[in-house]
Amino acid sequence: MQRRHCIALGLALGIAGGSALAASPRGPVLVLVLGDSLSAEYGLARGKGWVSLLQQRLQAGKERLPVVNASVSGETTAGGRSRLPALLAQHKPSVLVLELGGNDALRGLALQSTQGNLQAMVKAAQEAGTKVLLVGMQVPPNYGSAYTQQFADLFAQLAAKEKLPLVPFLLSGIGDARDSEQWFQPDRIHPNAKAQPHMLENVWPRLKPLLK
């Protein structure tokens, strides 16, 4: 898999709009998504990203569960870690979908730092009574076989240690497909609208059990 098709690592700013509804501790299940450009609808029309599709699916259900998308293009695990406490206090989510780490790899940040930030976010969420779904990422082989494997293992190891459900690779079937070109925007980095339903289906089997 080529580098340009592996991870959406745009540095554009902006927050994808999600539901602004907040849940009380005894209110309905609320899903908070904390991610980077993969989850922030980068380069897409509003409402076409996988998080928006998730929101539409949950709103169409019997319980009409709310979703807050707090994803920011270019976000690192350090940035997510700094923002998460306020988000937990404001929205009181029942479930946190944690999709961060790709930009750490792009910037060549130490794996120990990425792992430490992810673990701190997991701990903060759990202490707030929030379930966590960890979303894994992969980097292309040209990063070096050792780094590539260690980066992928980072998510699996954290999920095992904290007993978290894990989406091994958000872009499975897209970024690692032989015909991956058709799933990406002209920049050859960010998944296009056609890819978004596939991304949701990669997440859904791990997320659904947490919504009960």
Active site residues: 37, 187, 190
Question: What 3-state DSSP class applies to 92?
Answer: coil
The dihedral through the CA atoms of 88, 48, 173, 206 has a sign that is positive
Residue 11 vs residues 14, 107, 175, 182, 189: alpha-carbon distances, Å: 10, 11, 19, 22, 11
The SS3 call for residue 37 is: coil
CB 55 within 8 A of CB 91: no
Which residues on neighbouring strands pair with residue 99, listed in sequence order?
35
Q: Determine the distance from the C-alpha atom of residue 99 to the mean position of all C-alpha atoms in its chain, rounded to a whole number.
A: 2
96: CB partners within 8 A, 6+ apart: 31, 32, 33, 34, 88, 121, 125, 130, 131, 132, 133
Q: How far apart are CA 37 and CA 58, in angstroms?
A: 22
Q: Environment class of residue 193 by beta-carbon count within 10 Å: exposed (0-12), middle (13-18) or buried (19+)?
A: middle
